[in-house]
Structure 1
């Protein structure tokens, strides 16, 4: 009995030592991750955004014909996009050529380089510097176009217990959080792009949210309707089939079968309206000559032209 008790105590002590060791190791990796991403901010010379006003959704464009003749509408300049557009990723790419840009949600911890690997597993446990770490990276779906030109672009990131990476996304289940943080900014070599958040919800890993291929506008509209119908927040933002969707995906903390997603839209240009052409009146059909006309024509030396 005494030996059994001593073995049990020894076993519990071993479990405790291992657990403490894992906790220490994780905290070390958290700290190393913070240092790696602080270095990324320094290399890219992330501008100081602390004095900028709270972001607001991009205003709707004035409809065609809505302007008074001679009246020039003011051009909206997003202060965040304007401050971020000059970012240079050369220094980051000297460390890792997989870097394609930077993602930022003002007022949150989301401010990281975005990388893209050849698969969707490597950057789950490697930082942007390719260090092995539980922190991982913020990374683009390996099948998406690097220039963000797809209709649905997916970006993944961990929900870390210390609030880093994509942990802030869980707050989008609250209407007030969306109101205070309505926009996502992605900056790449083409400039800074403003995405308006329109939906947030939990979805199966096999759900339509992760669809990449769309054959036509009808399938795109079905996708938009699906996303809007699942959202737990009401934003009033409705994407169109000619826009581009950004899907941010992270874990829920409740297993591996579902994910928490936040979706935003980058406004595109509406296709031009088809020009209306005036209907031409059909040419009057020539009446076939009557027998009397033929007789009279013969009498005067004239002949009727053959019908075409």
Structure 2
């Protein structure tokens, strides 16, 4: 072969090698793009499935709770005004609850918690531990939102010095999602009072403190503890995000409402109130 022929052959060989290299590179890039596209579609599909499942679960929970409220809860009628000076009326909660009906369905229902003009209108459950109703509804079935439940250390009739109730901080605003709103003075002024109803007694909860704390806080004790040489509820009042009524006096019972918060690991937002027993109808 002549020298010129060898040069032509060398150039052709070089071109083939470059073409093969480019083809391999393009093939690799194409595979990577296809893989990333498939992963994106998979993640998108999973996200849509999770969103739809969460939305449907919330809708089922809302329908279930609306049905339960319709069956067991009725608003009290406001007495008609009279011209004569009326006799003093006993102070009653704004709702009535049929506990016989509720406990026939589930004996673990021990109370009802209510805050006027909010989403809070729920049965209170209690089990032998503080995990059972985290993801169970009042009918015992699986529920993402779980239930409002009393601390397992509380007595069944909730006659302790400090009643402790837990509820999830749900993104749809249900359960105890409103508790962190008490960091704003205006929200407290709009909703300063809750009601706790039980089969044996009804209570008005006059809120006096709301703040972020940890799960090791002494507010999670069923008796009135002391911290820094003063009652824990006085310290709670001092640490409160809003300025409400005075802290409880000695002998007054309290209620602690708790939900998740996210300022640090195991953070909780708690709202605390004084329990005042209401008159019998």
TM tier relative to shorter chain: 0.7 to 0.9
TM-score (norm 1): 0.72
| Aligned mates of 2:107, 2:38 — CA distance in 1 | 49
Contact 1:101 1:187 in 2 (8 A): yes
Distance in 2, matches of 1:21 and 1:227, equals: 43
TM-score (norm 2): 0.79
Specify which of 91, 99, 112 is matched with residue 78 of structure 1.
Answer: 91
* CA pair 162-211 structure 1, distance change in 2 beyond 3 A: same
Corresponding residue for 1:91?
101
Paired position in structure 1 for 2:178: 168
Match of 1:187 in 2: 197
Deviations 1:107-162 (A, max 9, x none): 11111011111111111111111120111101001111121111111100011111
**2:231 is aligned with 1:222:** yes
Give secondary structure in 1 for the equivalent of 2:207: strand
1:1-308 matched pairs, under 5 angstroms: 1-47=29-75, 75=88, 77-79=90-92, 81=93, 83-84=94-95, 86-214=96-224, 222-254=231-263, 256-267=265-276
Q: Is the 8 A contact 1:106 1:181 kept in 2?
A: yes
- SS of the counterpart of 1:209? helix
The 2-side partners of 1:126 and 1:254 are apart by: 26
Q: Which moved more, 1:249-258 or 1:116-125?
A: 249-258
Listed one character per residue, the Cα deviations across residues 12-70 of structure 1 (whole Å, up to 9, x for unaligned) are 11111111111111111101111111121122132268x79xxxxxxxxxxxxxxxxxx
The whole-number CA distance in structure 2 between the counterparts of 1:75 and 1:223 is 36
> For residues 34 and 195 of structure 1, what CA distance do their matches in structure 2 show?
25
- Assess if the C-alpha contact under 8 Å between 2:234 and 2:247 holds in 1: no
Deviating beyond 6 angstroms after TM superposition, the runs of 4 or more aligned structure 1 residues are 217-220
Return the alpha-carbon distance in structure 2 between the equivalents of residues 17 and 212 of structure 1: 47
Q: CA deviation at 1:182?
A: 1.0
* RMSD value, Cα: 2.4
Q: Secondary structure at the match of 1:143?
A: coil
Comparing both structures, which one devotes a greater share of its residues to strand? Answer: 2
In structure 2, C-alpha distance between the alignment counterparts of 1:144 and 1:151, rounded to whole Å: 9
Gaps in structure 2 of 5+ consecutive residues: 1-28, 80-86
Higher helix share: 2
Q: Is 2:203–2:276's contact at 8 Å kept on the other side of the alignment?
A: no
**Distance 1:160-1:93 versus aligned 2 partners, 3 A rule:** same
- SS in structure 1 at match of 2:270: strand
Q: Could you list the runs of 5+ residues in structure 1 that have no partner in the other structure?
A: 53-73, 269-308
Q: CA deviation at 1:236?
A: 2.8
Structure 2 residue matching 1:246: 3-state secondary structure: strand
Q: Which string of whole-angstrom CA distances, capped at 9 and with x for unpartnered residues, describes residues 168-215 of structure 1?
A: 212211112111211110111123211100000000112222123458
